[in-house]
Structure 1
Amino acid sequence: MRLVVGTNFDDKLIDELKKYPVRYIFGSKTKTLTGHGRASFVLPQVDEERLKEHIQIAHDAGIKFLYTMNTATLNGKEYSQKFLESLKKEIDSLVNLGVDGFIVAMPFLVHFIKNEYPDVEISISSFSRVYNIREFEEYVNMGADTIILHEDDNRNFSLLSSLSKYRNKVDIELILNNSCLWGCPYRRTHDIISSVTSQSDSEVNVWFEYPILFCATDVRNDLANIIRMRWIRPEDLRHYEELGIDRFKIASRNKKTDWIIRAVKAYSQGRYEGNLLDIVSYPQGRAVPAVMKKINGPKDYDVLTQVYVDNTKFPPNWLSYFKYNSCETRSCEECRYCDIIAEKVITVQGKPLSEISLPKIKPPIELIPRFSKDASNEGNKDH
Structure 2
Amino acid sequence: MEGLEDLLSGSQDIYAVYMAGTPDYVGTGRTNLSAPGLEEIQEQTEFAHEKGVKMEIVLNSSCMGGQHLTPQGFNKVKWYFDRLNDIGIDSITVAEPYFVEMLAKDYDMEIVVSVLSFVDSPQKAEFYEGMGADTIVVDPAVNRDFSKLEAIRESVSCNLKLLVNEGCLYQCPFRYAHFNFFSHANGPGPKLNVLDDYYYYKCLSLRINDPQQLVKSPWIRPEDIKEYKHITDTFKIGGRTHFPNWILNNVQAYIQESYDGNLMDLLDCPKDIRDLFYIPNKELGNALEQWKRCDKNCSKCGYCKRLIEKIVQVYSTDGTEQTLQPLKSTGGTT
Confirm or deny a common fold (TM above 0.5). yes
More divergent stretch after superposition (7-16 vs 243-252): 7-16
Give the letter for the 2:233 counterpart: D
State the shift of 1:98 in Å: 1.4
Which SS does the other structure have where 2:275 is aligned?
helix
Partner of 1:158: 147
State the shift of 1:322 in Å: 2.1
User: In the superposition, relative to structure 1, how do residues 322 and 103 fare at CA in structure 2: closer, same or farther (>3 Å)?
Assistant: same
For residue 207 of structure 2, the aligned residue among 219, 235, 240 is: 219
Aligned partners of 1:222 and 1:269: how far apart in 2? 31
| Identity value in percent | 29
- Cα deviation per residue 1:37-93 (whole Å; 9 max; x = unaligned)? 2123xx134222211111111111111111111100110113311111111111000
Q: When the two structures are superposed, what TM-score results if normalisation uses the length of structure 2?
A: 0.92
Partner of 1:298: none
For residue 354 of structure 1, the aligned residue among 325, 328, 331 is: 328
State the shift of 1:9 in Å: 4.7
Partner of 1:102: 92
More divergent stretch after superposition (335-344 vs 93-102): 335-344
Q: Does 1:279 align with 2:266?
A: yes
Higher relative contact order at CA 8 Å, sep ≥6: structure 1 or structure 2?
A: 1
Aligned partners of 2:244 and 2:51: how far apart in 1? 17
Q: Does 1:87 align with 2:61?
A: no
Partner of 1:318: 287
- Does the 8 Å contact 2:20/2:35 carry over to 1? no
- Does the 8 Å contact 1:213/1:284 carry over to 2? no
For residue 253 of structure 2, the aligned residue among 266, 269, 272 is: 266
Give the letter for the 1:309 counterpart: I
Which SS does the other structure have where 1:305 is aligned?
coil
Aligned partners of 2:205 and 2:126: how far apart in 1? 36
Question: Number of matched residues?
Answer: 326
State the shift of 1:274 in Å: 0.6
- Structure 2 regions of 5+ residues with no counterpart? 316-323
- Structure 1 regions of 5+ residues with no counterpart? 1-6, 287-303, 361-383
Which SS does the other structure have where 2:160 is aligned?
strand
Partner of 2:68: 78
User: In the superposition, relative to structure 1, how do residues 141 and 264 fare at CA in structure 2: closer, same or farther (>3 Å)?
Assistant: same
Aligned partners of 1:154 and 1:307: how far apart in 2? 23
Partner of 2:320: none
- Does the 8 Å contact 1:179/1:231 carry over to 2? yes
Give the letter for the 1:170 counterpart: C
For residue 25 of structure 1, the aligned residue among 17, 21, 27 is: 17
User: In the superposition, relative to structure 1, how do residues 150 and 8 fare at CA in structure 2: closer, same or farther (>3 Å)?
Assistant: farther
User: In the superposition, relative to structure 1, how do residues 8 and 206 fare at CA in structure 2: closer, same or farther (>3 Å)?
Assistant: farther
Give the letter for the 1:10 counterpart: L
Q: Does 1:146 align with 2:135?
A: yes
- Does the 8 Å contact 2:210/2:333 carry over to 1? no
Aligned partners of 1:137 and 1:357: how far apart in 2? 47
Give the letter for the 1:348 counterpart: V
Aligned partners of 2:79 and 2:272: how far apart in 1? 41
Aligned partners of 1:204 and 1:82: how far apart in 2? 21
- Cα deviation per residue 1:166-207 (whole Å; 9 max; x = unaligned)? 46x111111011100001001011111111111132321348
